[in-house]
Every structure is written in C-alpha cells, then in structure tokens.
Structure 1
Amino acid sequence: MLLPFLIVGGIGLALLVVSLVIGDVLDHFELGDGMISGTALSVALTVFGAAGAITASSGLDLVWAYVLAIGLAIAAYVVSALTVRSLAASSDGVPASAVGLTGVATSEIGAAGGEVSLDGPGELERRLAFADGSIPDGARVRVVAHAGSRVKVVADRD
C-alpha cells in the first residue's frame, strides 16, 4: 500500500517547489514564534512520503512504515523549521556600510558611473560606483559615500 505515501510525498514536494519559487506560503502567519513554516511543513510531508514508501516496499508491516514515516517526518520538520528560523533571524536586510573600504576600479569611473571591486569582508562581487571626476580603470579607489545601491568613490592616495 504505497499510494498514500506517494500522494503525501508528492504534495510535500509540490509545496516545497512553491515555497522555494514564490516564497513561504505560511510566512505571513505569526504562529508559534516562527515555528510554523510552509517550507518546513513541505519538507516533513516529503520525508513522510519517501520514508513510508521505502519502508513499505522493504517488506515490513504497514504499521512500521507509518511509525517510521511519522517519526522521520517530525524530526525533519523540527530540523528544517529551526534552520529556516535561524536563517530568517540572521538576515536583517540591511547592507553593511562600505564607506572607508578600498578597492580597484574595474572600469573607468565618472559621474555617469562605473564599477569597482572592493577589498572588504563580504565583498565578493563588483559594485556600481560613481565619482565626481574621472578615475581610470585599474586605479585604487576608496568609498566615501553610499547613494542607494551605488557607492561614491575617490582615487585612493595611499
């Protein structure tokens, strides 16, 4: 009797895809201090379906398939809910200030814009930049201000 496990697992997988593509569907409900999570629920349903189908197809009694599937689903829910909660708490959405960081101009920078690669913690990509004057490609720069998502730079005299 694999059909109930396959149906529940399929629903869980579909919900997981929806949660990953458009966001957590239960995110707007403040229930249980963040312990109610659509992503965690979909992980638990998927684990329930997979564990139950594997156990039932291995020849054990159906009662053991349900016991094991429920136990693993609860464990998967708790682990994924705590992980989602931890990740949500660690992302504050406020970008770190780049003022004072130095780097290299990766294109010519002027009032119209350009790009820089900064030497700072968490600076993995290039940033859009602008300057009052012209700064050539490859020149060392220092960030003096933020303007939205762009940074204002000056030629570094160090």
Structure 2
Amino acid sequence: MLLPFLIVGGVGLVLLLISLVLGDIFDHFEVGDGAISGTALAVGLVVFGASGALTASGGLDVVWAYALSVVLAVVGYVLSVLVVRNLSRSSDGVPLSAVGLTGVARSDISTSGGEVSLDGPGEVERRIAYSDAFIAEGSRVRVVEHAGTRVKVTAD
C-alpha cells in the first residue's frame, strides 16, 4: 500500500536533484514553451509520495490517501511553478527602476557623466550617472531618470 507512494516520491526526489544540479531538464527541450517545469514537477511528485505515505501509514483509506495526495501534489506543483517563474524573471539581468533612490556622488557629475553609489536594495556597485547641473564628488544625489545602466541625478 505504501510502495506506490514511495516509488513516486523517490522518482520525484531523483528528478529534483537532477534539476538542482544540472538545471531544469525541460529547458533543453521545447516542451510547452516553458509551461512545464522539471523542478516543479519534481516537487509535485515528492509531495505526492510524502503525503501519500504519511496518510496511508496513518490508517486513512487508500482512496482518500490517493485523493489527498493528488490535491497536495497539484498545490505543490502550482506553487513551485510560481516560485520558479518569479525567480527566473528576477534573475534575467533586467535592472529594477532606480528612480527615487538616493546616494552619493563618487566623482564629479556633469552632463558628460560621473559615478554614483545608490542606497537601494541590490545596489552594490557604482552606476554611471549624469546631471543637467554640476554636482561635486561626495554630494548627496537623487535619481530622477533611469535608462539602462545609466541614471540621471539631481543634488539632494
């Protein structure tokens, strides 16, 4: 009675390990235009196996153990797909808008350029900056425009 759950959970665990070490296996094939995630599928299989083994060993009827396992596996799959998509979007190198952030001028800034360090989340490097008016090194600045990796700043 527990064996099917243990087999499915074990297959899911192996698939999850492969996805974590080698990357999502479905990324290498044109499967569903990204609609199927190997990592999320693996999580669903592990949740199915674990929840089925726990409910079946707890004395629940087999029908209810399968029903509960399927529901929990689908929930686990959907949540995993959402997390994987969110992580994929956040790691694609597209910078978040820096408009409104403040920082410090690390060099003199003019219309031709300069550098700033900003105080925002994820801002660990200097950015190329420019300004309509001269801003001296060490001055506090505020970002008013953001285009690619460059920011337009004003004295704060």
Unpaired runs of at least 5, structure 2: 108-114, 129-135, 144-148
Aligned counterparts, 1:59-138, within 5 A: 59-89=59-89, 92-96=92-96, 103-104=103-104, 117-120=117-120, 123-128=121-126
Aligned residue pairs: how many?
Answer: 140
- 1:77: Cα distance to partner? 1.9
Identity %: 63
Q: Secondary structure of 1:26's partner?
A: helix
**C-alpha distance 117-79 of structure 1, shift in aligned 2 (>3 A):** same
Rounded to whole Å, the distance in 1 between the matches of 2:58 and 2:124 is 53
Partner of 2:5: 5
Q: Which amino acid aligns with 1:74?
A: V
Contact 2:117 2:127 in 1 (8 A): no
1:39 matched to which residue of 2? Answer: 39
> Residues 116 and 128 of structure 1 are in contact (CA less than 8 Å); yes or no, is this contact kept in structure 2?
yes
Amino acid at match of 1:127: E
Q: Distance in 2 between matches of 1:99 and 1:129?
A: 13
TM-score by length of 1: 0.60
Q: Please give the per-residue CA displacement for 1:90-123, whole angstroms capped at 9, x wherever unaligned.
A: 6542235769976237xx87xxxxx964134xx4
Aligned-residue CA RMSD in angstroms? 4.0
Instruction: Give the Cα–Cα distance (whole angstroms) in 1 for the partners of residues 87 and 127 of structure 2.
Output: 30
Distance (whole Å) between structure 1 residues aligned to residue 76 and residue 91 of structure 2: 23
Give the letter aligned to residue 70 of structure 2: I
Q: 1:10, 1:49 within 8 Å by CA — same for their partners in 2?
A: yes
User: 1:21 deviation in Å?
Assistant: 3.8
**Alpha-carbon shift at residue 82 of structure 1 (Å):** 3.9
Normalising by the residue count of structure 2, what TM-score does the alignment of the two structures yield?
0.61
